Structure 1
Amino acid sequence: MAEERASCWRRRAKIVATIGPASWSPPVLDQLIAAGVDVFRVNAAHNSPEERRPIVADLRAAADRAGRPIAILQDLASWKPRTGPLEGDSFRLIRDTRVRIVPGSEPLSPERLSIDDAELVAQLRPGHRILISDGLIELVVESRAGDELIARVLRGGQIRGRQGVAVPGVLGRPFRLSERDRADIAFAAEHELEYIGVSFVTGPDDLRSVRAILRECGGRARLVAKIERPEALAAIREIARESDAVMVARGDLGVQLPPEEVPIAQKRIIRVARAFGIPSIIATQMLESMTTQPIPTRAEVSDVANAVLEGADALMLSAETATGQYPVEAVEMMHRIIVATEQQLTPAPVPEEEEPTTIAATIARTATDLARRWRAVRTIVAITRSGFTAREVARERPVAPIVAVTCDPMVARQLSLVWGIVPLALPSFAETSEELIEQAAGAARASGLVRGGDHAVFITSLRYFPEPGHADTLHLRQL
């Protein structure tokens, strides 16, 4: 337990691990948390609510055994064209061979591929490119015969069932929630999941529609806008204003944009998230080679390090931990890369043009400046009910570690996604400001996160406010 806390203390950027057949057994979950996982991701596209219930129960049990607040991020399936199912082993498409493309969900074969979106297939014309599995496989349409297409394989690869399909230049369906999505939102509310990933967002109204359903269900999950489409990138500031976090979903975004534009888009999304004070997650192919080998490529190591330097809050592993052969090793490697990078270099500063807009933001910036100028300050302790004050401190990327003390266990778990924050949950808060600061100091000492004699800056409020953003007190003391 003490070693895990020390590990969290050293690392500021957080690790999100996708759960799948390679990792959802309790022994592996325990190893993943010990290796450094802060958030578990469950993709609703690959399981039903009934199948998800025992998975969520196992995730909660693993977090309880570790004694750490661990968040769960559930992605909504939403609309995404996919190939049909595959009966038997995967097969390989060979370059320059021809294959028939048909609408529907019939089983795949080397001569015939189905795509489960008939509307999309109907739009395709000769010259359109069809990208499968995040663009690893590329086909070009040569002709049409009724509902069927003839396509040539430009870039071959291994075909598996239910792989994602994208067609650059063909406008996708407008965002809409299916009955399955509504059931998954209700599931998140019922199980008090901390985050919902909203797939294929096109604008802020999409997030409002999800939030309305979530509130009807009584849920408190925070919404992660997955930036996967050019329309979302064009409206990134409006989306960031409405969301609680953003994900740079480089798999789908990377097949809609030219590859050389993806790094610039990533930097832009991170910068906007920092400006709005919400977490950013970098996803897809971060350590992709570790799905089949025990060490990453040097390019992948540089990719992870650069995301840290750009100021991302969290880095996500997908296939590496869901279906890969080395899920625990992938988390351990990502932890090592992040720690090594953070020990040598600092992330990008908050955008200068963004001024604090609340008292809490001003207090957070003042605390960060104090800790930066006076190195005797070892810790910033944010006492928070909603998590807002702690996120405002993290937005400033202080040198001193951040301890967030709250009396809401769900808020503590939500803060496990945010850069630099070590969350602590108390049963309740003391009644007076002085007692509250002493209570928070005692909790931080008891957890082993700080030592007696250290100096710390405390941020709290003199009065109780039901709305976030009302921290008004900065207190410097020796523990």
Structure 2
Amino acid sequence: MLTNKKTKIVATLGPACSTREIIKDMIDAGVNVFRVNFSHADYEDVKEKINIIRGLNEEFGYTTAILGDLQGPKLRVGVMEEGVVVQDGDLITFTTAEDILGTAKKVFMKYQNFPNDVNPGERILLDDGKLIFEIVETDKKSEVIARVIQGGELKSKKGVNLPNTKISLPAMTEKDIADAIFAIGQNVDWIALSFVKTPRDLQDLQELIAEHSEYKIPIIAKIEMPEALENIDKIVAYCDALMVARGDLGVELPAHEVPLVQKELIRRAKTARIPVIVATQMMETMITSLTPTRAEVNDVANSVMDGADAVMLSGETATGNYPVQVIQKMTQIIEAVEDSPLIQVPQNTPQIKTKRFITKTICHHAATMANVIKAKAICTLTNSGYTAFQISAWRPNAHILVFTSNKRILTQLNLLWGVKSFMYTKDVSTDDTVTDINEIVKEKGFVQKGDFLINLAAMPIKDKGMVNTLRVSEIE
């Protein structure tokens, strides 16, 4: 039995959930979106998983979505000798000239522009910030000398973060472009772009999608760098959703600053009426334990209370021992808190008179009115899914039920808070359509006799234009 929670769960695919049975159990337990992490993805394996998920959707009437997550420009050091340890105060040279075996004195840095991008006084963080170095000098060509601020073991191929440096790399590497083209070819529902710094990064991906697909695939901007926070207003205007990627964010920024940044980003997304996902280490303990810590339970609950559309699991479902149980536990936490009156929605009503202004206003009023008249459901007929985004952002108490003949958006909308979508292909006149949809909603058990229901539609229906009509029905 599928759960009735409104906050969505994104689960990362991996070796721990590679069989059809486990994937089905995870969907039944509450997964709404499966994430393909292209940092560790084999194309054949991904195709197989996508076919399993789509097969289950087909067979059981699920609308599970697929999200392709691009790795982005992950900086790394080269291979190290065994057991290299650096001490506080030591000097170490990072070289881009030759791929040497790393020692405590000299390490290969895979990023060629590194000496040119960095400046003395800036920091280098290694292995998720476990090791910290400060740059002493750079020859701007191939070598950088740095002092160890926080020492420890230097391991092979570990990730590098440069929190104070403006990196000249684009957000999409050659690998990302290849991965994105593959993901587009697989018709994924969403694509997430890592290490977004400016709107240009998002435009590059939009252009790539336009070049390789006749459909628009919505983009999630992953916020994990200080530069993205500086440009957040511009980024929000160019993406379709945000992800608070707390892993790298907590390395690039001091960890104690992340909680407020998380709240601010969620508020920013809610104000812009776009979905937002909170990700990383949500139920980390459950990789190896059946019980999450109290802090993790609090963390998931607080993300929901802040207003996240979705919460995401990474290693917990990709490589953990309990991929199904962690979803059950997360669903339990979500259901316990998501209806709390303590959750506030930013009340900025639509202002800007764009061509979508009428639709936005109708959706806003539908959500407000549904709460006032205690309507059980808001039903919308849509071809683009736009109304679903708008209604979901206002967080009404009513069910948000979306009817569409566009198969592409059926699964795409599954990331949105509170949205359930259904295939509807009849092309009848408006009154008959409303009656027909109300009948379907009643049959599915969302409403019963005497309940109020709000219908949104574009008149005339056959033109598939923008929503311009709001109607209140009482179920017979």
Shorter-chain TM range is 0.7 to 0.9
User: Residues 84 and 174 (structure 1 numbering): CA distance in 2 closer, same or farther, change over 3 Å?
Assistant: closer
Distance (Å, rounded) in 2 between the aligned partners of 1:264 and 1:54: 40
CA shift, 1:292, in A, is 2.5
The answer for the alignment partner of 2:267 in structure 1 is: 271
Compared CA separation, residues 124 and 185, structure 1 to 2 (3 A): closer
- Cα separation, 1, equivalents of 2:154 and 2:337: 35
1:34 matched to which residue of 2?
Answer: 28
1:211-250 matched pairs, under 5 angstroms: 211-218=206-213, 219-250=215-246
Equivalent AA in structure 1 for residue 245 of structure 2: A
SS of equivalent residue, structure 2 residue 366: helix
Q: Does 1:260 align with 2:256?
A: yes
Aligned residue in 1 for 2:165: 170
CA distance in 2, matches of 1:93, 1:61: 50
Alignment of 1:358-377 (within 5 A): 358-375=357-374, 377=375
Aligned to 2:427, the other structure's residue is in SS state coil
Distance 1:309 1:414 in 2: 24
Q: Among 330, 334, 338, which residue is 1:338 paired with?
A: 334
Deviation (angstroms), 1:142: 7.7
**Root mean square deviation of aligned Cα:** 3.1
2:285 is the alignment partner of 1:292: no
Structure 1 residues 76 and 373, CA gap change in structure 2 (3 angstroms): same
The alpha-carbon deviation at position 424 of structure 1 amounts to 1.3
CA deviations 1:335-360 (Å, max 9, x no partner) are 11111112444422124365475222
> In the alignment, what sits opposite 1:394?
392
Letter paired with 1:474:
R
SS, match of residue 22 in structure 1: helix
Give the drift of 1:193: 0.7
Deviation, 1:319, is: 1.5
Matched, 1:202 2:201: no
Deviation per residue, 1:217-258 (Å, 9 max, x gap): 124311111112222111212111111111111112222222
C-alpha spacing 1:306/1:141, structure 2 compared with 1 (3 Å)? same
The amino acid of 2:430's aligned partner reads: S
Greater mean alpha carbon deviation, residues 338-347 or residues 466-475:
466-475
Shift of the 274–144 alpha-carbon distance from structure 1 to 2, 3 Å rule, reads closer
**Distance (Å, rounded) in 2 between the aligned partners of 1:288 and 1:281:** 17
Q: Give the stretch that moved more between structures: 21-30 or 303-312.
A: 21-30
Q: 3-state SS of the aligned residue for 2:31?
A: coil
Q: 8 Å contact 1:189–1:220 — kept in the other structure?
A: no
CA distance, structure 2, for counterparts of residue 405 and residue 174 of structure 1: 42
Query: Using a 3 Å threshold, how does the CA distance of structure 1 residues 156 and 335 change in structure 2: closer, same or farther?
Result: farther
Counterparts in 2 of 1:465 and 1:378: CA distance versus 1, 3 Å: same
Give 3-state SS (helix, strand or coil) of 2:16's partner.
coil
- Structure 1 residues 406 and 118 mapped into 2: Cα distance closer, same or farther (>3 Å)? same
Shift, 1:108, TM fit: 7.3
Q: What is the CA–CA distance in structure 2 between the aligned matches of 1:111 and 1:51, rounded to whole Å? A: 40
CA distance in 2, matches of 1:151, 1:317: 36
Shift of 1:115: 3.8
Q: CA deviation at 1:118?
A: 3.3
Partner of 2:442: 445
For residues 447 and 112 of structure 1, the distance between their equivalents in structure 2, rounded to whole angstroms, comes to 66
SS at match of 1:398: coil
Q: Distance in 1 between matches of 2:42 and 2:194?
A: 17
Measure how far apart 1:364 and its partner are.
1.6
Aligned counterparts of 2:223 and 2:462: Cα–Cα separation in 1: 34
Gaps of 5+ in 1: none
Q: 1:19 to 1:182 in 2, by over 3 A?
A: same
Q: Deviations over 1:294-326 (max 9, x none)?
A: 222212221111111111111111121112222
Q: Which residue type is aligned with residue 360 of structure 2?
A: A
Distance 1:137 1:46 in 2: 24
Q: Distance in 2 between matches of 1:63 and 1:135?
A: 41
Alignment of 1:308 onto 2:307:
no
Identity %: 33
**Superposed displacement of residue 405, structure 1:** 1.3
Aligned length: 468
Counterpart contact for 2:266–2:306, Cα < 8 Å: yes
Q: What is the TM-score with the length of structure 2 in the denominator? A: 0.87
Shift of 1:196: 0.6
SS of residue paired to 1:118: coil
My pick for the range that moved more, 68-77 or 342-351, is 342-351
| Cα deviation digits, residues 382-405 of structure 1 (max 9, x gap) | 221111111111111111121111
Q: Within 1, Cα distance between the matches of 2:119 and 2:263?
A: 34
Q: Distance in 1 between matches of 2:294 and 2:13?
A: 25
- Residue type of the partner of 1:119? N
1:192 corresponds to 2:187: yes
Matched, 1:12 2:15: no
TM-superposed CA distance for 1:140, in Å, is 5.5
Mark the CA change 1:107 to 1:418 in structure 2 (over 3 Å): closer, same or farther.
Answer: farther
Instruction: Please tell me the residue identity of whatever aligns with 2:451.
Output: D
Shift of 1:128: 5.0
* Alpha-carbon separation, structure 2, partners of 1:196 and 1:341: 29
User: TM-score of the superposition, structure 1-length normalised?
Assistant: 0.87
For residues 320-359 of structure 1, the aligned pairs below 5 Å read 320-352=316-348, 355=351, 358-359=357-358
Question: Structure 2: which amino acid aligns with 1:318?
Answer: S
Measured at CA, do residues 424 and 353 of structure 1 come closer, stay the same or move farther in structure 2, by a change above 3 Å? closer
Structure 1: which amino acid aligns with 2:394?
Answer: E
Q: Is the 8 A contact 1:383 1:390 kept in 2?
A: no
Q: Is the 8 A contact 2:117 2:168 kept in 1?
A: no
Match of residue 457 from structure 1: 454
